[in-house]
Amino acid sequence: MTAKIIDGTKIAADVREEIRAGVKAMQERYGYTPGLATVLVGEDPASQSYVGMKQRMCQELGIRSIGHTLPADATQEEVEGLVRELNADPDVNGILVQLPLPGHLEEEPVLNSIDLEKDVDGFHPVNIGRLAMKGREPLFIPCTPHGVMVLLERSGVKISGANAVVVGRSNIVGLPVAMLLQKANATVSICHSRTQDLAAYTRNADILIAAIGRAQMLTGDMIKPGATVIDVGVNRVEDPSAKRGYRLVGDVNYEEALEVAGAITPVPGGVGPMTIAMLMKNTLRAAEIALAGRERVAS
């Protein structure tokens, strides 16, 4: 059996077209353009590259991008002060503080200081708390987990009643994706580095989410025949034949999984393009929330 390939590049392009149309409609109807502020602290090359991609995508979709860069030795007060300024700026609908922050800074108070209605990353504890609770909905869903759910939904994967196994428990991916799957009525197991007999869990997964950050750790024999495999991992492995000396692989052994799974996302071209698309979707939503607030004040 060869698995169906879930084409994240195509699905993300479809989502972006919907957002572009939404931005255009907002401009035509209300003369209003959504704005996203990015905050980058320090000079980590990977973070610089991610922020650059987010800013370019804003431009492509007609969203205003407001970039702020602080030096690597910025103080806690400087970072939180900038967030407060952006909270008060009516031209800023969404605020994204790129993570990880330099080691001397505390992440939690920075994320707490972002206005709930501008929390386009969905990392504010109130948004995460609402995600965890039955009958409550967050204002914004974290981007990568949201992208995973859209990939499943648009590929026609049945989530309700499925056994879903999430390998990895990070705040950015593992934990929120597990909560989303549970909200969608899957039976969810969260596995991590201390899980005993990981394969016993993964072999029972109708939906397997790999978000561990270890190259090709999930092998073909760990996958249930016919399962849907979503690979969130992006790992560099040395490859002298590649131009840059390395290539990118996921947390799943793709070649092996292809022979066992029913459907699988490739790396690159699976989850990756969805993350930025969902950030743009959250920014458009933040602008809709701001507009609704203006109308309430005016009436």
Residues that bind ligand GUN (CB under 6 A): 96-99, 121, 143-144, 172
Residue of minimal Cβ distance to ligand GUN: 99
Minimum separation from the CB atom of position 265 to ligand GUN (A)? 17
Q: Quick one: residue 286, left, alpha or beta (phi over 0 = left, psi -120 to 50 = alpha)?
A: alpha
Minimum separation from the CB atom of position 282 to ligand GUN (A)? 10
Catalytic pick from 54, 118, 183, 224? 54
Catalytic pick from 98, 118, 224, 251? 98
Comparing CB distances to ligand GUN, the nearer of 19 and 97 is 97
Comparing CB distances to ligand GUN, the nearer of 7 and 121 is 121
Decide if 54 is catalytic.
yes
Minimum separation from the CB atom of position 15 to ligand GUN (A)? 16
Minimum separation from the CB atom of position 144 to ligand GUN (A)? 6
Pairing of strands 4-5, 263-264: parallel
Decide if 59 is catalytic.
no
Comparing CB distances to ligand GUN, the nearer of 69 and 204 is 69
Catalytic pick from 7, 119, 121, 206? 121
Distances (CA, A) of 68 to 41, 89, 147, 206: 8, 14, 26, 43
Decide if 196 is catalytic.
no
Minimum separation from the CB atom of position 159 to ligand GUN (A)? 22
Comparing CB distances to ligand GUN, the nearer of 98 and 283 is 98
Comparing CB distances to ligand GUN, the nearer of 227 and 276 is 276
Q: Which residues are catalytic?
A: 54, 98, 121
